[in-house]
Amino acid sequence: MEIEAHFFRHESGRIVATLTRLFGMRNLALAEDVVQDAFCRAMETWESNGLPRNPSAWLMTTAKNRAMDLLRRERTARAAEPELVRLFESEWTLVPTVDEAFSKDAVIDSQLRMMFSCCHPELAQEGQVALILHILCGFSVKEIAQAFVSSHAAIEKRITRAKQQLAESANLFDLTVPNYQSRLSAVLEALYLLFNEGYHGSSPEAAVRKELCQEAIRLVNILTGHPRLATPSTYALAALMYLNAARLPTRLDGSGNLVTLFYQDRSLWDHQLIADGEALLDLSAAGTEPTKYHLEAAISCTHARASQNEDTDWQLIISLYDMLITIDPSPVILLNRAIAVAQLYGPERGLQEILDISDLERLSSYPFYPATLGEFQLRLGNCLVAKAHFATALSVARNAMERNFLQRRFDACREN
Amino acid sequence: MNEYVYLYRGYEPAASSEEMQKKTAKWMAWLKDLSDKGHLKSFGEPLQPGGKVVKGKKKQVTDGPYAEAKDVVGGYSIIIAKDIDEAVIFSLGCPIFEDGGSVEVRTIGQPGTTDGN
């Protein structure tokens, strides 16, 4: 039997969202049970009879039949979405209602609505992201804990709480309500965090991180496929993800060590993803003013277009950072701007830029702040000072990957 | 307001599952519209073809009904209308007519207790 490793995980979100549309939000647990049940049946049947021609359709049909059985048995509000309950009273309307929910368009629509439901304003962002990963991406509590380098108990608690919040609404988020746009912003932000957790995140498992990025891209693609949700911001976020994902293969070297942009083998960047990202960035240009997604995508695009580090248009990158600062004046962005300035005008100017950051103390636990100081000092030939900075960076490193990286930079000071 | 039953005759299942889906969707749209307008007491149910017929003092049980397919009752719904004419008018959108089938409109109740004719 040959099925793709993450087959069940990938199918889970589609089916849970579809069933929740029928059962109502209160019965999310029932939807999850039906999916588990369908998975068990699949394993048993496929084990003895071999794989069906279309495993995904097989699972959908199994879940659909199970849903019909359940709704027939429980023609009460208990197992049904409140507005649909009267339609489940009769076979005349039960079958077509379930058929409709399992149609291709409705399955996509349910996933979108579930994504919006997960981004309930009463939930903290970590709760929203964990919920999306759990319900729509089919990650187990264990896998989410691994991705966020958190304890099983903490993630479980976070998800349980978030689900209680969800259960308070009767059904999936209604995409036709007037305030859907403010919820869309929350969805974009959650997907942005999800992608960043994969891209910059703390999990030492490269595979886990790649999957987080892939899931964020899969979900943003559903948004760009919807006429009203494919806003300039949505396209910009998608562009940002594609352009950054293009560099994923080179972010870690063969031994799993972090490689900074300057030293990456650019021939290994995914040029198809870059082309797709550029096309998305073009589509995003319809808006009146750029969002942080636009600017971050444009910065990423500028890197992607340089075939070697020396060809990078640092002037353009600095001006993009200047615009980004007006939207998000966080010290991390100012630090990144300083790195670009150092590339164009030399490390001395870079150091000055860092000293000018007003709330530097907010960076005290961010290892790349002392590490950047170390890099600048190293380039200026102040090995001793550089070494001290790298030592500071090492003391605040958040995971083994960062520690390895910083240790190698620390050791590099010795060689000079 | 009075209650009427629609007896659908000549309901034909579609050849492919795809066409069947289209067909059930049509039935649902029609019934849901009646329901939304408050004309429906109950969706009723479709009926499977075949069955048994129990008949006479001897209570003879036979397979059946052996009527022509177009004469077999394929389902029912219960309608609320002012009078039988209005109940007839409500039936005009029924998808059964596309199959060449019929809707029998009957007043529910004891003879003489309603305006049924």
Q: How distant, in Å, are the alpha carbons of A223, A228, A229, A255, A272 from that of A276?
A: 16, 21, 19, 29, 6
Give the contacts of A78 (CB within 8 A, at least 6 positions apart).
none
Pairing of strands B102-107, B40-46: unpaired
Q: How confident is the model at residue A253 (pLDDT cuts 50, 70, 90)?
A: confident
Predicted confidence (pLDDT) at residue A216 exceeds the cutoff of 70:
yes
Predicted confidence (pLDDT) at residue B114 exceeds the cutoff of 70:
no
pLDDT digits (tens, 9 = 90+) for B81-94: 999 999 999 999 99
Q: How distant, in Å, are the alpha carbons of A248, A270, A335, A346, A349 from that of A355?
A: 31, 36, 10, 15, 10
Q: How distant, in Å, are the alpha carbons of A43, A59, A60 from that of A47?
A: 6, 14, 18
Predicted confidence (pLDDT) at residue A228 exceeds the cutoff of 70:
yes
**Residue B76's closest chain A neighbor by CA?**
A92
List B31's β-bridge partners, or say none. Answer: none
Q: How confident is the model at residue B117 (pLDDT cuts 50, 70, 90)?
A: very low
pLDDT digits (tens, 9 = 90+) for A385-406: 999 999 999 999 888 888 889 9
Tell me how crowded residue B9 is: count the other CB atoms within 10 A of its CB. 19
Predicted confidence (pLDDT) at residue A289 exceeds the cutoff of 90:
no
Q: How confident is the model at residue A250 (pLDDT cuts 50, 70, 90)?
A: confident
Q: What is the pLDDT of residue A186?
A: 95
Q: How distant, in Å, are the alpha carbons of A18, A252, A307, B26 from that of B48?
A: 28, 63, 70, 19
Q: Is A104 exposed, middle or buried (0-12, 13-18, 19+ CB in 10 A)?
A: exposed
pLDDT digits (tens, 9 = 90+) for B22-68: 998 999 999 999 999 999 999 999 998 888 999 999 999 988 776 67
Q: What is the pLDDT of residue B116?
A: 46
**How much is the average pLDDT of A304-325?**
94
The 3-class SS string of chain A reads CCCCCCHHHHHHHHHHHHHHHHHCHHHHHHHHHHHHHHHHHHHHHHHHHCCCCCHHHHHHHHHHHHHHHHHHHCCCHHHCCCCCHHHHHCHHHHHHHHHHHCCHHHHHHHHHHHHHHHCCCCCCHHHHHHHHHHHHCCCCHHHHHHHCCCCHHHHHHHHHHHHHHHHCCCCCCCCCCCCHHHHHHHHHHHHHHHHHHHHCCCCCCHHHHHHHHHHHHHHHHHHHCCCCCCCHHHHHHHHHHHHHHCCHHHHECCCCCECCHHHCCHHHCCHHHHHHHHHHHHHHHHCCCCCHHHHHHHHHHHHHHCCCHHHCCHHHHHHHHHHHHHHCCCHHHHHHHHHHHHHHHCHHHHHHHHHCCCCHHHHCCCCHHHHHHHHHHHHCCCHHHHHHHHHHHHHHCCCHHHHHHHHHHHHHHHHC
> Is this prediction's ipTM beyond 0.85?
no
Average the pLDDT over each of A2-6, A167-171, B93-97, B102-106 and give the range with the smallest value.
Answer: A2-6
**Residue B29's closest chain A neighbor by CA?**
A93
Predicted confidence (pLDDT) at residue B112 exceeds the cutoff of 70:
no
Predicted confidence (pLDDT) at residue A382 exceeds the cutoff of 80:
yes
Q: What is the pLDDT of residue A145?
A: 87
Predicted confidence (pLDDT) at residue A199 exceeds the cutoff of 90:
no
Residues 62-101 of B with CB under 8 A from A: 75, 77
Pairing of strands B2-9, B102-107: antiparallel
Give the contacts of B17 (CB within 8 A, at least 6 positions apart).
none
**Contact: A96, B77; criterion CB under 8 Å:** no
Task: Provide the percentage of residues in chain A whose pLDDT is more than 90.
Answer: 70
- Residue A92 forms contact with B (CB below 8 Å): yes
- Tokens representing B61 are 């049980």
Predicted confidence (pLDDT) at residue A170 exceeds the cutoff of 70:
yes
Q: What three-state secondary structure class fits B7?
A: strand
Predicted confidence (pLDDT) at residue B11 exceeds the cutoff of 50:
yes
- Residue A83 forms contact with B (CB below 8 Å): no
Among candidate residues A72, A56, A69, the one with its CA nearest the CA of residue A107: A56
Please give the single-letter amino acid code of residue A327.
I
Average the pLDDT over each of A89-93, A327-331, B108-112 and give the range with the smallest value.
Answer: B108-112
Compute the distance between CA of residue B11 and CA of residue B19 in angstroms, rounded to an integer: 14
**How much is the average pLDDT of A142-146?**
86
Q: What three-state secondary structure class fits B88?
A: helix
Q: What is the DSSP letter of B100?
A: T
**How much is the average pLDDT of A271-282?**
96
Beta carbon pairs, A and B, within 8 Å: 37
Q: What is the pLDDT of residue A191?
A: 96
Q: How confident is the model at residue A1 (pLDDT cuts 50, 70, 90)?
A: low
A99 chain-B contacts, CB cut-off 8 A = 21, 24-25
Q: Where are the domains of chain A?
A: 1-102, 362-416
Tell me how crowded residue B10 is: count the other CB atoms within 10 A of its CB. 18
- Residue B14 forms contact with A (CB below 8 Å): no
Among candidate residues A286, A99, A137, the one with its CA nearest the CA of residue A222: A137
**Contact: B25, A96; criterion CB under 8 Å:** yes
Q: How confident is the model at residue A416 (pLDDT cuts 50, 70, 90)?
A: very low
**DSSP run (H or E) holding B32:** helix B17-36
Average of per-residue pLDDT values in chain A: 91
Give the contacts of B90 (CB within 8 A, at least 6 positions apart).
B34, B39, B79, B81
**Contact: B32, A100; criterion CB under 8 Å:** no
Of the candidates A91, A93, A95, the beta carbon closest to that of B32 is on A93
Predicted confidence (pLDDT) at residue A36 exceeds the cutoff of 80:
yes
Q: Does domain B2-107 have CATH number 3.30.70.1060?
A: yes
**Residue A103's closest chain B neighbor by CA?**
B21
